[in-house]
Structure 1
Amino acid sequence: MSLLEQINADMKSAMKAKEKDKLQAIRSAKTALTLEMTKTGASEIEDAAAVKIIQKLVKQRKDAADTYKGGGREDLAEKELLEMSFLEVYLPAQMSDEELTAAVQKIIADTGASSMKEMGKVMGMATKQLAGKADGKAVADKVKALLS
């Protein structure tokens, strides 16, 4: 079952169960995926592309929640975090800190990098290998820590 089919099925079940918040989050994901398919002229969307779009939506929710918290609007922040939790279900499992450290150490060894000057080379390889498995900021922080 493709990710889009899974989202459609979950949307139907959320409608039947009258789960408004979950339905709103799933609809936003379906809309983003449909827009991407329209833009590319495709009748299907690959799961890898769908995951990237959902990651973007999750990041938007997280940023919005942080902004609301900074403005003292806990109620709106909680709503964003709730929607984010409904969307994270569609993402692959994220790497633990230990797994990320091991993966970045292997990439550093493979590239032969030894200083911060070579961070770009390491990040390029890490971004490709760890796409979808770890947050980009977490990867960058780990690379900086291990190279310095």
Structure 2
Amino acid sequence: MSLETRVMDDLKIAMKAKDEAALRTLRAIKSAIIIEKTAEGASDVITEAQEVKMLQKLAKQRRDSLEIFTKQNREDLAVKEREELAIIEKFLPEQMSPEQLHKEIKAIIEQVGAKSPADMGKVMGVASKQLAGKIDGKAISDAVKQLLA
């Protein structure tokens, strides 16, 4: 079942339940799908990789906003971001645990022969491709920095 179909089904359920947070979030996802489909040079079909990338972008936006609102003591706005983030994460594939991430990064470091923080670019290039959709890019970056230091 495509992401668009799942979102539309959940949107109907949210409308019947009058769930404002779900409606707000599902409409944002639907909007992102439409933008992705109608982008210049795009085909009418979105691949699963594109769907995951789009959802990760939406989740990252929510995390960044949540961090800002928390720092500014705007709990009213932070609550909305938490609600939306939780709903977006339901559509993302299961994320890797920190232990799994460290194991994968160690294997990639050995594979590319990285020895110092100067080799971070080599590791990040391979890691970003291999782990796309499985974990956030910032978590990958943090793990690479930690293991190369």
Coarse TM-score class (shorter-chain normalised) = over 0.9
> Which structure 1 residue ranges, 4+ long, deviate > 4 Å from structure 2?
none
* Partner SS for 2:91: coil
Question: Aligned residue for 1:141?
Answer: 142
Question: Aligned residue for 1:51?
Answer: 52
Q: Distance in 2 between matches of 1:90 and 1:10?
A: 11
Q: CA deviation at 1:42?
A: 2.5
Question: Aligned residue for 1:37?
Answer: 37
Q: CA deviation at 1:110?
A: 0.8
* Of 32-41 and 105-114, the range deviating more from structure 2: 32-41
Question: Aligned residue for 2:61?
Answer: 60
Q: TM-score, normalised by structure 2?
A: 0.95
Question: Aligned residue for 1:10?
Answer: 10
Counterpart code for 2:80: K
The answer as to whether partners of 2:114 and 2:123 remain within 8 angstroms in 1 is: yes
Cα offsets for 1:45-65 (capped at 9, x unmatched): 112101111111111111111
**How many residues matched?**
148
Q: CA deviation at 1:135?
A: 1.2
Q: TM-score, normalised by structure 1?
A: 0.95
Question: Aligned residue for 2:133?
Answer: 132
Q: CA deviation at 1:12?
A: 1.1
Identical counterparts, % of pairs:
47
The answer as to whether partners of 1:69 and 1:77 remain within 8 angstroms in 2 is: yes
* Partner SS for 1:89: helix
Question: Aligned residue for 1:22?
Answer: 22
Long gaps (5+) in structure 2: none
The answer as to whether partners of 1:4 and 1:45 remain within 8 angstroms in 2 is: no
Q: CA deviation at 1:41?
A: 4.3
Cα offsets for 1:29-79 (capped at 9, x unmatched): 010110110114422211210111111111111111111122221011011
